Amino acid sequence: KTGAVCVDRGSVLHSALMIRRFFKDKKNDVAFAIFPYGTRKHTKAFKSGGIYFAKKLKLPIIPVKIEGSENVMPPGKITIQENQKVNIKIYDKINPDLEVDKIESTLKKLI
């Protein structure tokens, strides 16, 4: 009901096709969120695919840092823990015309 697109992390082709269909269906009315670390676990595996979509669609990237979500719903659990603190910081937008490496390094520093 939210219009979210679920992607199969194990299949780059399937993911690309799903996202392409999403953008085709939405035409010019596009806003999307990508979680480049893809998980609540502490990981260093940054996924840069969202940068390429933003560049292709000429959409600004608005970095958002979310801290503490793993306390609300711990990895591997489906229950929500009440009374947990989550910090959210919204940074200035990044121009999609910058080089991918520059955008990625900026995002990694911020989030």
Separate counts of helices (H) and strands (E) for the chain: 4, 2
pLDDT surpasses 70 at 26: no
In one-letter notation, the amino acid at residue 106 is: T
Q: What is the pLDDT of residue 30?
A: 64
pLDDT band at 78 (very low <50, low <70, confident <90, very high): confident
d(CA 99, CA 64): 20
Looking up tokens 């082709």, which residue turns up? 13
Task: Provide CB contacts within 8 A for 72, sequence distance 6+.
Answer: 80, 81, 84, 86
43-76 pLDDT, tens digit each: 678 888 888 888 888 889 999 998 888 889 887 8
Specify the pLDDT at position 36: 81
The C-alpha atoms of residue 52 and residue 14 are separated, in whole angstroms, by: 16
Q: Is pLDDT larger for residue 105 or for residue 37? A: 105
The pLDDT score that the predictor gives to residue 25 is: 67
Q: What percent of the chain has pLDDT over 70?
A: 85
Question: Can you tell me the distance from the alpha carbon of 100 to that of 50, in angstroms, rounded to the nearest whole number?
Answer: 10
User: So what's the pLDDT on residue 20?
Assistant: 76
Q: What angle do CA 47, 48, 53 make, to 5 degrees?
A: 125
Bigger pLDDT: 22 vs 85: 85
